[in-house]
Amino acid sequence: MITVLALVGNPNCGKTTMFNNLTGSDQYVGNWPGVTVAKKGGMLLNHPDCEVVDLPGIYSLSPYTLEEVVTRDFLVYEHPSVIINIVDASNLERNLYLTTQLLELEIPVVLALNMMDVVEANGDEIDIERLSRELKCMVVPIAAINGYGLGELINVALAVAKEKSTNQGLPIFSDTEEISVRGIERLLPDRESTQLKRWLAIKIFERDNKVIEQIKISNNLLERMNALRRRCEVAEDDDAESIVINARYRYITNTLRSCIKKKLKTGELSASDKIDSIVTNRLLAFPIFFFIMWAVYYIAIQTLGSMSVNGMEKIFGTFSDYLTQLMELGGVSLTIQSLVVNGVVGGVGAVLGFVPQITILFVFLSFLEDCGYMSRAAFIMDRAFRQFGLSGKSFIPMLVGTGCSVPGIMATMTIENEKDRRLTIMLTPFIPCSAKMPVFVLFAASLFPDKSWVGPSMYFWGIIMVVVSGIILKRTAPFAGETAPFVMEMPAYHMPGLKTVLKHTWEQVKSFILKAGTIVFAASVLVWFLQSFNTSLDLVSPTESMLANIGQFLAPVFVPQGFGNWQAAFAALTGFLAKEAIVSTFAILAGSGGDAGSKADLVLKLQSMFTPASAYAFMIFTLLAAPCCAAVGAIRSEMGSWKWTFFAVGYQTGVAYILAAIIYQVGSIIQ
């Protein structure tokens, strides 16, 4: 028989980190809520008969969001062997609210006090044994980020599962409240599980309509239960839901008073609070945020990143020369040589040459996320977004989308309001993902070598267009309505673990490399073929090729944007396959003489095709136009409708087309 360990806790308490450590999995870990929106299972390392289930973070068993519904339904209907309740030990009062509810399910519970390293750093002390006695369950201190205490936690959880002893709830209610709850419990039909009767009674007492609908109580019985509730409400002069909430927090406060010794005095600010007084300050928050993002992109693109690209160019140049010599010695035909060296190595190598810059970028972004700053960024942007009809919840998918638009679009499922969710799906691709970075880096280095603001400006243009689109679309019928509330926990600042930062970075870089080895590889071969042959499949010069014919057909469309030549027009088209393919297309065109083009050839090619104004317009078009085919597929999946998908793609491309034209026309006048 399989033993099931359910990981349950508030959002951002460390469940997914623990799940990865316990199962050897590679689930994405983020320092904000909503990273896990569906349950994930994996077998416990070295225990083939034990499954670990990572459940979405919740604050309560009264479900209002998709995550809470998923978690509650699993606990109530799947009935796991043991609940491992992960709590943030540095903020127990809020975390234990969920614990009091879990203990009422009469499923064995083990409390895992996570982030004990933060507690120790704060100078606080927790009496583990006393807390265990008060909560009537086993309590184990851990630090999931470095694996401390996880072995003991699993041993305790498996022992509790073997004993099959259930919790009996906590004495949180006053005598008056307890009389009403027990009265409702006795009225419950016998068909309801005895293990759930206590929990069901409390949910009925606090008017949980979902529970009442599911158990299908007769009107007569429900009226008798309502009478018991009303009697308590009159006696305490309060509504039932508030009575239950107050009772839980009253019990938690009294329990913690005897179990915790705080170093900071009441009213004294912690280190995190002092930092937040600056970085979330109403006047300073935005300048600090924009400076941080500018610095990240400047270092990744202009300084360290620029130096690393030169090294990669030498590596691929040497590799190309070696391949050419090898094929010449083997008597390989010039056509095949061109395919391998110019098409494959030239195209794919041009994209892979940006791996160091992508790596540097995501080292910084992972550091900011794991230290806790990105949670503040979501809070800061909520303040701005709310003014324009968007919720801070919309910013979280956009942050995820800096790696890839596909998981960013999928992260919108945490937004309950359907109109807000659709709007966020449409706008998330405006934020530059890692696939667009090589295009921006290439153009910034080729046309704007002395302008440090060009690369980072793409990030800010993305945010500007999100805000502008929010203002416009929120005034239309399909998106009008109240903005969904945004509640988010601010994790304490801490020094990120090297392993976590490197793991996040590797996840993004690996995805980039895999795409270069698959989609970009196929696109490079296709571009080489189209620019080498005509429709009769005769080997011709690029100007007489099928690629030139397609490009010349598309070129007039982009005249208002300043890149109405056939090479740029076709490159823009390949961006709908994968944004990285734009770079490989230009690289293949730069080496169209038969040998792989060098970086100097590529730069000269771009300078011959673009002015600074048209180059910046091309970057804007790449930034805002419909995303790659994989992201369009994600939009279709989340929208659930082709009509909405076509509307999203049309809107994105239309905005890109119009803004690129404005940028070019105004830029040409200034230039």
Is the per-residue pLDDT at 140 higher than 90? Answer: yes
Q: Which residue has the higher pLDDT, 31 or 202?
A: 202
Predicted confidence at residue 85, as pLDDT, reads 94
CATH class for domain 3-163?
alpha beta
In which band, very low, low, confident or very high, does the pLDDT at 661 lie, cut at 50, 70 and 90? very high
305 phi, psi to nearest 5 deg: -65, -40
Predicted confidence at residue 663, as pLDDT, reads 95
Q: What is the dihedral of CA 113, 119, 123, 126, to 10 degrees?
A: -10
In which band, very low, low, confident or very high, does the pLDDT at 100 lie, cut at 50, 70 and 90? very high
HSE-up (13 A, CA, CB side) for residue 499? 8
Predicted confidence at residue 484, as pLDDT, reads 61
Average pLDDT estimate for 392-414 = 80
Q: CA 188 to CA 91: how far, in whole Å?
A: 36
Lowest mean pLDDT of 314-318, 558-562, 647-651, name the range.
Answer: 314-318
In which band, very low, low, confident or very high, does the pLDDT at 32 lie, cut at 50, 70 and 90? very low
What are the residue ranges of CATH 3.40.50.300 in the chain?
3-163
Overall size of the chain counted in residues = 671
pLDDT digits (tens, 9 = 90+) for 174-185: 989 989 999 998
Average pLDDT estimate for 328-335 = 85
Average pLDDT estimate for 601-605 = 81
What are the residue ranges of CATH 1.10.287.1770 in the chain?
175-261
Nearest to 317 by CA among 589, 591, 525: 591
> Structure tokens of 463?
């945010």
Q: Which residue has the higher pLDDT, 304 or 483?
A: 304
Lowest mean pLDDT of 93-97, 196-200, 304-308, name the range.
Answer: 304-308
pLDDT digits (tens, 9 = 90+) for 8-25: 998 877 787 788 888 877
Predicted confidence at residue 300, as pLDDT, reads 81
Average pLDDT estimate for 287-307 = 82
> Residues with Cβ < 8 Å from 205, sequence gap 6 or more?
180, 181, 184, 225, 228, 229, 232, 240, 244
Is the per-residue pLDDT at 613 higher than 50? Answer: yes
- CATH of 175-261 among 1.10.287.1770, 3.20.20.140, 3.90.1150.10, 1.10.1750.10: 1.10.287.1770
Q: CA 457 to CA 465: how far, in whole Å?
A: 12
